[in-house]
Amino acid sequence: MAEADRPGKLFIGGLNTETSEKVLEAYFSKFGRISEVLLMKDRETNKSRGFAFVTYENPGDAKDAAREMNGKVSSNGVNFRCVSCDEDLWQ
């Protein structure tokens, strides 16, 4: 199974350059146990490229998080865009 096809994996977009793995874990861990937070960073600046992947141990928790967090704005102005990686994104 390809990494992006793992059940429980979310694509998180709309992040600012100051977003860290700890910030993402703090926002998304309230929906369940997270097995991985992968923040995509610029190689030169080491700052967020604006998106990340959050993987939950339970795929149902990922669906709950996507439903609740998509379109939410954080206290520091991050407008979360959440999409489950197990959905067919090209339909």
Q: What is the CATH number of domain 9-84?
A: 3.30.70.330
Q: What are the tens digits of pLDDT across the range 15-48?
A: 998 889 999 999 999 999 999 999 999 999 999 9
Give the domain ranges of the chain. 9-84
How far is residue 76's CA from residue 14's CA, in Å, rounded to a whole number?
A: 12
Does the predicted TM-score (pTM) go above 0.95?
A: no
Q: Which of 7-16, 41-50, 60-69, 81-90 has the lowest mean pLDDT?
A: 81-90
Question: Where does the pLDDT of residue 90 fall: very low under 50, low under 70, confident under 90, or very high at 90 and above?
Answer: very low
Please report which helix (H) or strand (E) contains residue 39, including its range.
strand 34-41
Q: Give CA–CA dist 22/26, Å, rounded.
A: 6
**Which pLDDT score is estimated for 2?**
46
Q: CA dihedral in degrees (16, 47, 70, 56; nearest 10)?
A: -160
Percent of the chain at pLDDT exceeding 90:
63
Residue 61 phi, psi (nearest 5): -65, -35
